[in-house]
Amino acid sequence: MDINITEDQRMLQDATRRYLEARAPVTYLRQLVEAQTPMPDIAWREGAGQGWLAPFVPESLGGMAESAQGAIDAAIVAEEMGRVVYPGHYLPNSVLAFAIAQWGSQAQRETLLPALAAGEQRGAWCFAAPGVDSGTAPDGVRLERSGGQITLRGVAANVQSAPDADLLLVTATDGEGVTQLLLPAATAGIEVRALDTLDLGRRLADVEFRDVSVTADAVLGAHGAAADCFEQQLQLALVLHCAETVGVIDRALEFTLDYVQQRYAFGRPIGSFQALKHRLADHAAQHEGGKALVARAAKAVQEQAADAAVAVSIAKSHCGRWATEIIRDCLHMHGGIGMTWEHDIQFYLRRAVSNEALWGSPAVHHERLCRLAGL
Amino acid sequence: MSATPDDTKDNAEEHAFRLRAREWLRTHLPPRRLQDEPMMDWADKALIARDRESQRALWEGGLAGITLPREYGGLGLDRRYADIYYEEAQPYRLPWHFGNAFNIVLPTLLAHGSEELKRRYVPAILRGEHLWCQLLSEPSGGSDLAGLTTRAELRGDHWLLNGSKVWTTGGLDCDMGICLARTDPTVPKHAGLTMFLVDMTSPGLAINPIKLISGTVDFCQEFFDDVAVPADHVLGEVGGGWAVASTQLGAEKASMARGWYEGLAAAVESDEIELKDEYGRMARSLGVHEDPRARQLIGEAFVLDAVHTLTTRRVSAGIRNGALPPTAGTLSSLLVALCDVRRSALLSGISGPAGVAAKPGEEGLQWGMTRVTRHRIGGGTTEMQRNGVAERHLGLPRDEADIADRTVPFNRRKVNPDRAQ
């Protein structure tokens, strides 16, 4: 995270790390995986009870949005979650809390924000069409309006936490532009099809909308006017996603550095061989680069600076690519033990590879950067 | 692009200094034209002469050596005044050929020089009289600096230097050089070195320019044939040359991180990311701006530029405020080199065949093979930088062969048997 974080942010970081190490270390994820069970509701409620969503919720509804730096604070939390490959639902719920706080009606804010913040309701965000270019555009769901009635059709792909969600934020398009809606996951016509995931700590689903009919009071903000809201939500999501990836790399490099100093071969620690040392130096340098980019992205998004759109795509490209490259090599440096089911590095690599591909691969963000540069 | 200097934090004295500097600079220094004039070009004798004049003028105008002690010709002011000066100097060309003298030699001289040497050589830099070079690398080795073989022997009131130095920036045009030589081959390599101040016009010193692949001739090779150096021109202790060299290398690294002769990095910078027009212009001129493969590479180039800039800034700010250990500097130097290597590949990838075969007079060839001489070798090879990150920052153990080489007397270390004397 930023080297200039405040004293409050330092405390948030320490408290989050302590909580996650005590209550959700990576061995907890292993237990869930081996028992073939998703994280229980009560565990997410306990986590949310730490105040993780408070930076987005106004004080009048029990949060601390006025005194917090939403995107930066949330990135600090997300990075800690990356260190333990946390299986909870932090990213989508942060995006929902942010969106509802920003653009929700009084009624939407009062009914939904406290419930999300307490972990009693869980959200997911549906927007992207399936495909290799998926992840950065609201191209999955079409909307039709006739009178007071709205009909939704289409498929939103790879929706994070959808199998566990009570509440869906849907970003859809029609001839008038981009519109967002909030609806219960149990609405008739919605089918949530859970996917098999490489990342064993994350549940994704394709969400199909089959002529889902809702009334206009489900709309978040104004009809046809949410293109900029979508972009802001996407930027926040990318900051959290990248911050988590930085945490994943951070911890994997830490235990790999320990390992190469403890493991001896040919009468000396394998970490004294330049063949390993030089690769680890490159990894540390690229990792520092990722930290610098994510710090800038969080700040730019928080301040809605002119470079926010650029900063998140740059961070996503860099972190995505290097997380996979670095952790794959960390696994290699562990030798045989790194290939075994019993070693935790698999969870780190699974999340790194998934994070590279989801929310727009590096290739998708390179193209987005060209467009942002007017090319 | 120069931002408007922030003068709201000035007190009355600082503000008076700012106004004086602003007016003086406006009337005495040439404008900054980095688009068509390099910061340094040692083949451009007129530019070097102009920098000498500018430095002389700065001295006469009372703006040289702002933070340096008064007894050595400086103004003895605090850091804030130097910041003000560099803010005001943004629109002008500063005498950048004095970069080595100011960034590397001055701090080293102040840290290790005798009172006499400081009183003689510091003001000579401020007055624009002495350009300085560093005589460090040798034909027999660059990375293994402490393994150098140029020898110095004491003959009464002077030392006699014999050997050869190479990769000396501006050797032909510099007046003075700071030269590391071996004074005792019977002790381990780091312990037998001494630093000398050498007059570059000394009899017996031959200087040859080296032309690089790019056609530039910034570097020289020197041959020392019984070059006499006065006994009092030793910097630091006899046998203590490595400590002096460490100060010197540290100063070089710090100045590279900060921006040459300050001036550049001292600009009032916003931390916003800007996407450079350069790639779009290049792609359009080559007609590849709509090609999806080229766009992938251009997108990656934007990422590299941001990583380069933001990491350098993060690390230097982090070291300054204590959030990062000083060893973190190794991370940004390595990353800058890695970015440069990759950027070179991206540029040739974007340009494709146009980068290797262009119609006479048309654009293209300048993109085919860029930056081959930069960063990856100069200022410490990437291999040395990797050792630096791994051993100093990450705390990984040294290689055993390296430990052996550091502890054996210099004249008994392992050498190539074909070259053994």
Q: Please state the rounded mean pLDDT for residues B3-22.
A: 85
Mutation pick from B277, B281, B302, B384 vs chain A, by most beta carbons of A within 10 Å, is B302
| Residue A102 included in any domain | yes
Contacts of B272 in chain A (CB under 8 A): 300, 305-307
Residue B262 has pLDDT above 80, yes or no: no
Three-state DSSP class for residue B222: strand
- Report the DSSP beta bridge partners of residue B92: B31
For domain B14-131, give the CATH superfamily. Acyl-CoA dehydrogenase/oxidase, N-terminal domain (1.10.540.10)
Token digits for B78? Answer: 């605090």
Residue in A56, A100, A58 with CA at minimum distance from that of residue A218: A100
CA distance A184 to chain B (A): 39
Q: How far is CA A86 from the centre of its chain?
A: 11
Q: Judge: B335–A286 Cβ closer than 8 Å, yes or no.
A: yes
User: A57 and A168: one domain?
Assistant: no
Looking at A204, A220, A236, which one is the last position of a domain? A220
Angle at which helices A227-262 and A90-103 pack, to 10 degrees?
150
Question: Rounded to whole angstroms, what are the CA distances from A350 to A19, A138, A186, A200, B287?
Answer: 23, 26, 30, 7, 40
DSSP for B246-306, written as a single string:
HHHHHHHHHHHHH-TTTTSTTS---------HHHHHHHHHHT-TT-HHHHHHHHHHHHHHH
Return the pLDDT at B328.
Answer: 92
CATH architecture of the domain B133-245 equals Beta Barrel (2.40)
**Do A181 and A140 lie in a common domain?**
yes
Yes or no, beta carbons of B272 and A300 under 8 Å apart:
yes
**A262 in any annotated domain:** yes
B299 touches chain A (CB under 8 A): yes
The predicted model scores a pTM of: 0.91
A131 and A111 housed in the same domain = no
Rounded to whole angstroms, what are the CA distances from A139 to A157, A192, A309, A316, A360? 10, 18, 18, 20, 13
Q: How far is CA B103 from CA A219, A241, B252, in A?
A: 62, 41, 7
CATH number of A109's domain: 1.10.540.10
Question: Looking at the domain assignment, is residue A136 inside a domain?
Answer: yes
A233 within some domain: yes
Average pLDDT, integer, range B124-149: 94
Assess whether A87 and A198 both reside in one domain.
no
Q: How far is A94 from chain B (nearest CA, A)?
A: 25
Which of these three, A190, A220, A250, is where a domain ends? A220
Instruction: Judge whether A343 lies within some domain.
Output: yes
Look at residues A121, A144, A168 and tell me which one is the last residue of a structural domain. A121
pLDDT at site B265: 43
B61-118 tens-digit pLDDT: 999 999 999 999 999 999 889 889 988 998 999 999 999 999 999 999 999 999 999 9
Task: Give residue limits of the domains in chain B.
Answer: 14-131, 133-245, 276-401
Closest CB to A369 among B302, B313, B385: B302
Answer yes or no: do A187 and A295 share one domain.
no
Contact A190, A205 (CB under 8 A): no
Interface A-B, measured as beta-carbon pairs within 8 A, has a size of: 156
Smallest Cβ–Cβ distance between B400 and the set A272, A285, A372 belongs to A272
Residues A176 and A268 occupy one common structural domain: no
- Residue range B318-363, pLDDT digits in tens: 888 889 998 998 899 899 899 988 999 999 999 999 999 988 988 8
Could you please state the CATH topology (level 3) that the domain comprising B276-401 is classified under. Butyryl-CoA Dehydrogenase, subunit A; domain 3 (1.20.140)
Q: DSSP strand E in B21-67: where?
A: none
Q: Measured between CB atoms, does A147 come within 8 Å of chain B? A: no
User: What was the pLDDT predicted at B373?
Assistant: 63
* Mean pLDDT, residues B373-387 taken together: 80
Contact B396 A260 (CB under 8 A): yes
Specify whether A135 is located in the same domain as A187.
Answer: yes
B396 touches chain A (CB under 8 A): yes
Do A86 and A177 sit in the same domain of this protein? no
Q: In this predicted structure, what is the pLDDT of residue A239?
A: 98
Is the domain of A235 the same as that of A106? no
Tell whether B391 lies on the interface with A, counting CB pairs under 8 A: yes
Average pLDDT over residues B282-311: 95
- The boundaries of the domain holding residue A53 are 7-121
- The answer to whether residue A1 is domain-embedded is no
Q: With an 8 Å Cβ cutoff, is B394 touching chain A? A: yes
Taking the Cβ of residue B301 and every Cβ of chain A, the question of whether any pair is shorter than 8 Å is answered with no
- Entry field: residues in chain A: 375
Q: Touching check for B39 and chain A: CB below 8 Å?
A: no
Element (H, E) at A246: helix A227-262
Nearest to B315 by CA among A239, A257, A2, A317: A2
Q: Are residues A73 and A19 in the same domain?
A: yes
Min Cα separation A265/chain B (Å): 13
Domains held by chain A: number: 3
The confidence score (pLDDT) of residue B416 equals: 79
Describe the crossing of helices A274-302 and A308-333 by its angle, rounded to 10 degrees: 160
Q: What is the CATH number of the domain that holds A164?
A: 2.40.110.10
Same domain, A318 and A275: yes
CATH number at residue A346: 1.20.140.10
Question: Across the interface, which of B275, B331, B400 has its CB nearest the CB of A373?
Answer: B275
Mean pLDDT of the region B284-293: 94
CB–CB contact B311 A269 (8 Å): no
A234 and A346 in a single domain? The answer is: yes
